[in-house]
Amino acid sequence: MAKRELSQYIMRQITSQGLVESTDNLLSTAKMLGGISRMILDEEVTTINPSQILEAGLRCIDTIELIVLACVPDDEDETDYKQQWEESETYEELAQVRERLNRLRGKLLGISEEE
């Protein structure tokens, strides 16, 4: 393996690990912020704005999606990559967290699920 190829390989490994850790941390943060928003609502804490905390959690989800799309390999069709992503367990978990946060957002805004 040539020096340049080895260097590229090492950089991909380091970058991949960092992105995986970042994605995991963002997902954990989104879940935690959703739980905090729920507690603020349930306990009627008036000193903290649950809507802004909730929006921060949703932005974590958006950031994860941006990271995933930034990682589309050059040699792979973006459509195939997106399909593989959407079939992954991580995507399913992300969708569930986003759904829970959106339901909580509806509660904050006074919108029932039947509407």
| pLDDT tens digits, one per residue of 89-114 | 888 998 999 999 988 888 887 764 54
pTM: predicted TM-score of the whole model, two decimal places: 0.77
Q: Which position has the token pair 């490994």?
A: 13
Q: Please give the residue range of the domain that contains residue 104.
A: 23-109
Q: Which pLDDT belongs to residue 91?
A: 86
Q: Which pLDDT belongs to residue 88?
A: 87
Give, in order, the Cα–Cα distances in Å from 50 to each of 9, 66, 75.
Answer: 44, 25, 43
H helices of 1-115, where? 3-42, 50-70, 78-86, 89-109
Q: Which pLDDT belongs to residue 114?
A: 46
Residue 13 lies in a domain: no
Per-residue pLDDT of the chain (115 residues), as tens digits, is: 688 888 888 888 898 889 989 999 999 999 999 999 999 989 999 999 999 999 999 999 999 989 988 887 766 667 787 788 889 888 899 899 999 998 888 888 776 454 4
Question: What is the token pair recorded at 106?
Answer: 């509806």
Q: Which pLDDT belongs to residue 83?
A: 84
Residue 9 lies in a domain: no
Residue 5 lies in a domain: no
Alpha carbons 15 and 11: distance in angstroms, whole number: 6
Residue 37 and residue 54 in contact, taking contact as beta carbons nearer than 8 Å: yes
Q: Which pLDDT belongs to residue 22?
A: 94
Residue 8 lies in a domain: no
Number of domains in the chain: 1
Q: How many residues are recorded in the chain?
A: 115
